[in-house]
Amino acid sequence: MISWGTGDFMETKETLLLKLGEVVLKGLNRRAFEDRLLSNVSRRLRRYGSFQIYMRQSTIYVEPLGVDCDMDAAFDAARQVFGVVRVARAMPCERDPEAIREAAAHYLAADFAKARTFKVETKRADKQYPMNSIQVSQAVGGLLAETFPDVRAEMRNPDLTVYVEIREKAAYVHTPSVTGAGGLPVGMGGRALSLISGGLDSPVASWMIARRGVELELIHFVSPPYTSPQAQDKVLQLARLLTASCGRMKIHIVPFTRIQEEIRKHCPEAYFTLIMRRFMMRLAQSVAKQSGVTALVTGESLGQVASQTMKALAVTESVVSVPVLRPLIGMDKVDIIHMAQRIGTYETSILPYEDCCTVFTPRHPATRPALSEVEAAEAALDVETLCAEALSGTEWQWVKP
């Protein structure tokens, strides 16, 4: 934490500047998106100290109110809030060139010590300010050149760019901002129930749909003794990783052993996976309706496995009436792996604990199934009783960061 200055800025401390993205394109309901984003940022940063958080000119200001605020953790957390596209750590100061020079000289001293060239780039958000952006950059750049004579000005490819923002309340000095999560604030896109396994795909699908402002609950199917407690713990850890961006979520744990055993006993092997998926969709829809959720989310990608051909997806989806959202549908496995690495779920997803989707996998699964044939195979099962038993054994818990 840096604190320095004179006059009204004696107690000035480092501030976070969070830049909005897609939210600024909203029309008459933009205020609702901004209010939700402010609420999400406040809730996410609460554990890192006491902050004053407010919005002006499409920028959210995060100002620490005490010396015990963890600015490093707050900065990392702010980057993961959906709706924020850029985050900068900045030092506020008075709005005249000398005060800006002093702020830059103190706040960026370590950066100047490593640089051989620099430039100043100014954004004048307050159009009433008497100097334009070029004039501010020239004035501050000249003063900094005198302060750091060993660092020369260079406009094309400088080692260090000093960013200055002239805003209504103060000027802000910072180095380049970093990329945020983007998207829309969670809670503005409705609510959905995401089917999550321990693999790579479903956590990425959950993250991607939450990025569109969707508030999530999760559902996971367990098949002891075919699946282990470690496999369930792995899924809970994946859910915790997702909460950094998605916020806290309720996860429903549904027992699935008897259903899978009954499918194995009474149904043709080629249809094992399809019938299993149809049961999962039925159970997910029931849980969704109980929770007041209006859509399901899956990690299916077209053609990735036999149960994800176009015909197979149609057979699976035919048992539900709610929308099924598939954010990965056009992605290949390399895309999904890269996304998992980006959002931090990859290392957990590849831990060697099997989920119930790999139990009783058919040697030759049907890739072009006819709905009538699958329904005929499924007729050997007491679907209603099996679903009721599974739902009666369902447990749930909140998953928090």
CATH of the domain at 308: 3.40.50.620
Residue 246 neighbours by CB under 8 Å, 6+ apart: 82, 186, 206, 207, 210, 216
CA dist., res. 157 & res. 137, Å (int):
16
- Dihedral sign from CA coordinates of 191, 223, 332, 351: positive
Encode pLDDT of 261-273 as tens digits: 999 999 999 999 9
Encode pLDDT of 65-98 as tens digits: 988 999 999 999 999 999 999 999 999 999 999 9
100 and 217 assigned to the same domain = no
239 and 136 assigned to the same domain = no
Domain that holds residue 274: 191-399
* Number of separate domains in the chain: 2
Tally the residues of the chain: 401
pTM of the model: 0.90
Residue 113 neighbours by CB under 8 Å, 6+ apart: none
The last residue of one of the domains, among 179, 213, 232, is 179
Encode pLDDT of 349-373 as tens digits: 999 887 887 778 888 888 899 999 9
**Position 334 in a domain:** yes
389 and 301 assigned to the same domain = yes
